[in-house]
Copies of this chain bind each other. A is one copy, B any other.
Amino acid sequence: MDRTKIILEERDMPTKWYNILPDMPTPLPPPLSPQTLKPAGPEDFAPLFPMALIQQEMSDERYIDIPEEVLDVYKLYRPSPLFRARRLEKALGTPAKIFYKYEGGSPSGSHKTNTAIAQAYYNKLEGTTRLATETGAGQWGSALSMACQLMGLECMVYMVKASYNQKPYRHMLMEAYGAKVVASPSELTNAGRAAMADYPDHPGTLGLAISEAVEDTVTHPGTHYSLGSVLNHVILHQTIIGEELQKQFALIDTEPDVIYGCVGGGSSFGGVAMPYVRDNLSGKRNVRLVAVEPASCPTLTKGLYAYDYGDEAKMAPVVMMYTLGHDFIPSPIHAGGLRYHGDSPIISSLYHDKVIEAEAFKQIGVFEAAMQFIHTESILPAPESAHAIKAAIDEAMRCKENGEEKNICFLLTGHGHFDLAAYDAYLNGKLEDDEYNEADEARAIASLPKVG
């Protein structure tokens, strides 16, 4: 137990993803077509995704083999390390042990690479020559750009214009990987041109970027669409995180009492949590699983559990999820990856069934926690990941008060090398806290599709 890092050998890397769908306490309600609001079948998804991913999206197999070619790419950065945060523990003076699994060592800098590689691989297998996607904060666009280059696919990224201008290094990274990146709204699509006709200086939104990427997909032969969160197959691919984590804790004969992960669409938290959900449900383990979200976009803690559109433009499927309403515009916090109005249907259902928990934090407290982490563990975390750090530190301080020697774990999803402007704002006292306006609930209810 005196190691700083617990590292698995490449040969011990998991070779299967875990699919929670057959183990869900409540079966997922079907996705609906955004046009008809009737249940959508594989044929509704075929213009956007390859059949292998559509099958994974609704599979009842509990384990799915990770293809050899995907495993080969994973080996560039996996298994990812599990750290014991001894310096942070000491600085806090807590009797708790703090662990973190670090996904920021992937070449693109976050956990997003885990699904990007798989999606690019299955698309290549079925003859796709080009993938289109949107990106907000840029982690997903970077990951897909990298994956497409490795799999020999072209990559087209619609990046929310405000981010494109605020984070130039993000689109430069995608371009270094060989992707074509345009600021959204762009001149390349009807959706983009219409938005700019209405409002020439339109700063872009994720919803609009999705609309552009989907329109690009259906108008370009050989092109499919790719999404980095929310969907079942994305969480499936991310389960390698949790499967590795269980093996790593077994190596040091330790069991976490609680695992914290940030949630936007839910892909990283889903990835780390699902293998533990499986074992909690079967009675094999008893590990608290806590989703951490921003107070300004409190989907789980203050949203409604209802059918809603996946995007502002009502082009994505309608799914049952916790939502703040598809027209909700969260305040411009720096954790751009957590500014989604909804949440993965899997995460939403498990939260509704009280299998997982949720907490929400304001951003100044989150940055304070990030600074404590930087000053002790030296890794600069992404602002998204720092939400989990905040929750873990708070728990460690409760342990200090109560004299409890808990094992606290959190998922550090990515590094913050491209988020330094946010740290600069924090250090110069320019960050503001913002809260969800409870009055927004009426607006959210009014905006929901009238289903059934």
- Taking Cβ atoms with an 8 Å cutoff, the residues of A that contact B are 3-5, 7, 9-10, 72, 75-76, 83, 87, 105, 107-109, 146, 149-150, 168-169, 172-173, 175-178, 371, 374-380, 417-418, 420-421, 423-424, 427
Please determine whether B424 and A175 come into contact, CB atoms closer than 8 angstroms.
Answer: yes
In the complex, what's the smallest C-beta–C-beta distance from A95 to chain B, in angstroms? 20
Which residue in B4, B9, B172 is a CB contact (below 8 Å) of A10?
Answer: B4
Chain B residues contacting A424 (CB-CB under 8 Å) are 168, 172, 175
In the complex, what's the smallest C-beta–C-beta distance from A352 to chain B, in angstroms? 38
In the complex, what's the smallest C-beta–C-beta distance from A403 to chain B, in angstroms? 26
Chain B residues contacting A176 (CB-CB under 8 Å) are 371, 374, 380, 420, 423, 427
Please determine whether B378 and A107 come into contact, CB atoms closer than 8 angstroms.
Answer: yes
Residue of B nearest to A428 (CB): B175
Please determine whether B75 and A4 come into contact, CB atoms closer than 8 angstroms.
Answer: yes
Please determine whether B420 and A172 come into contact, CB atoms closer than 8 angstroms.
Answer: yes
Please determine whether A377 and B177 come into contact, CB atoms closer than 8 angstroms.
Answer: no
Please determine whether B169 and A4 come into contact, CB atoms closer than 8 angstroms.
Answer: no
Please determine whether A173 and B380 come into contact, CB atoms closer than 8 angstroms.
Answer: yes
Chain B residues contacting A375 (CB-CB under 8 Å) are 149, 177-178
Q: How far is the CA of A14 from the CA of B107 in the complex (A)?
A: 27
Chain B residues contacting A9 (CB-CB under 8 Å) are 7
Q: Given A176-B427, A427-B175, check contact A420 B169 (CB 8 Å).
A: yes
Q: How far is the CA of A9 from the CA of B8 in the complex (A)?
A: 10
Copies in the complex: 2
Please determine whether A374 and B75 come into contact, CB atoms closer than 8 angstroms.
Answer: no
Please determine whether B423 and A172 come into contact, CB atoms closer than 8 angstroms.
Answer: yes
Residue of B nearest to A172 (CB): B420
In the complex, what's the smallest C-beta–C-beta distance from A389 to chain B, in angstroms? 14
Please determine whether B420 and A150 come into contact, CB atoms closer than 8 angstroms.
Answer: no
Q: How far is the CA of A424 from the CA of B173 in the complex (A)?
A: 9
8 contacts between A and B (CB under 8 A): A3-B10, A76-B379, A107-B378, A146-B378, A176-B371, A176-B374, A176-B380, A176-B427
Chain B residues contacting A175 (CB-CB under 8 Å) are 423-424, 427
Which residue in B10, B108, B371, B378 is a CB contact (below 8 Å) of A150?
Answer: B378
- Please name 17 further chain A to chain B contacts, defined as beta carbons within 8 Å, in addition to the given A7-B7, A173-B417, A176-B380, sorted by A numbering: A3-B75, A4-B75, A5-B75, A7-B9, A107-B377, A107-B378, A107-B379, A109-B417, A146-B378, A149-B375, A168-B421, A168-B424, A172-B423, A172-B427, A176-B371, A176-B420, A176-B427
Please determine whether B146 and A76 come into contact, CB atoms closer than 8 angstroms.
Answer: no
Q: Which of A172, A177, A371 has the most CB of B within 10 A?
A: A172
Chain B residues contacting A3 (CB-CB under 8 Å) are 10, 75
Residue of B nearest to A371 (CB): B176
Q: How far is the CA of A349 from the CA of B168 in the complex (A)?
A: 43
Chain B residues contacting A377 (CB-CB under 8 Å) are 76, 107
Q: How far is the CA of A303 from the CA of B3 in the complex (A)?
A: 46
Please determine whether B420 and A380 come into contact, CB atoms closer than 8 angstroms.
Answer: no
Residue of B nearest to A378 (CB): B107
Q: How far is the CA of A377 from the CA of B106 in the complex (A)?
A: 11
Q: How far is the CA of A367 from the CA of B421 in the complex (A)?
A: 27
Please determine whether A378 and B172 come into contact, CB atoms closer than 8 angstroms.
Answer: no
Q: How far is the CA of A170 from the CA of B427 in the complex (A)?
A: 15
Chain B residues contacting A420 (CB-CB under 8 Å) are 168-169, 172-173, 176
